[in-house]
């Protein structure tokens, strides 16, 4: 059973940066994917980014974060990072990481989820 723990959220001014971390434990296979999702109050959960452990082909970014967010991984540590630059108030949400066997933008495809970390961007 894969366990995921997010960290790195917080309060930041617009234009600032945060780096989120997703630490995975209990990973049984080398081939896996970690997706980043976010959910703002009153809105549906949306896929932000995703990265696979063995290939870059599946990597994706939500259109609104392209050029600002960068996903990376450290396979040896089973940790995935989401570097968020030029943060905007619209980025305010609870951010979750989730594990699957390959990247997908759809939350329903992911079975293992972290608890989430709050990101708040003030104007």
- Sign of the dihedral defined by the CA atoms of residues 106, 111, 112, 115, in that order: positive
Q: What is the dihedral of CA 103, 81, 112, 51, to 10 degrees?
A: 10
Which pLDDT value is given to residue 54? Answer: 84
Task: Report the candidate in 30, 76, 69 with the shortest Cα–Cα distance to residue 53.
Answer: 30
For the record, the structure tokens of 83 come out as: 């570097």
d(CA 115, CA 7): 10
Question: Residue 21 — φ and ψ, nearest 5°?
Answer: -120, 145
Task: Report the candidate in 82, 61, 62, 60 with the shortest Cα–Cα distance to residue 71.
Answer: 82
Which pLDDT value is given to residue 29? Answer: 67
Length of the chain in terms of residues written: 123
Which tops the pLDDT comparison, 111 or 118? Answer: 118
In whole numbers, what is the pLDDT of the chain averaged over residues?
Answer: 94
List, for residues 12-62, the tens digit of each pLDDT value: 999 999 999 999 998 776 788 999 999 999 999 999 999 998 888 889 999
Question: Residue 13 — φ and ψ, nearest 5°?
Answer: -75, 155
């Amino acid at each position: 059973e894969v366990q995921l723990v997010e960290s790195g959220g917080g309060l930041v001014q617009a234009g600032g940066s945060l780096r989120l971390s997703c630490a995975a434990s209990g990973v049984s296979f080398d081939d896996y994917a970690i997706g980043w999702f976010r959910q703002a109050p009153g809105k549906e959960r949306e896929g932000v980014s995703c990265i696979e452990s063995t290939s870059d082909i599946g990597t994706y970014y939500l259109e609104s974060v392209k050029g600002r967010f960068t996903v990376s991984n450290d396979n040896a540590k089973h940790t995935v990072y989401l570097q968020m630059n030029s943060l905007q108030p619209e980025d305010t949400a609870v951010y979750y990481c989730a594990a699957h066997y390959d990247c997908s933008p759809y939350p329903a495809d992911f079975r293992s989820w972290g608890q989430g970390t709050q990101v708040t961007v003030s104007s």
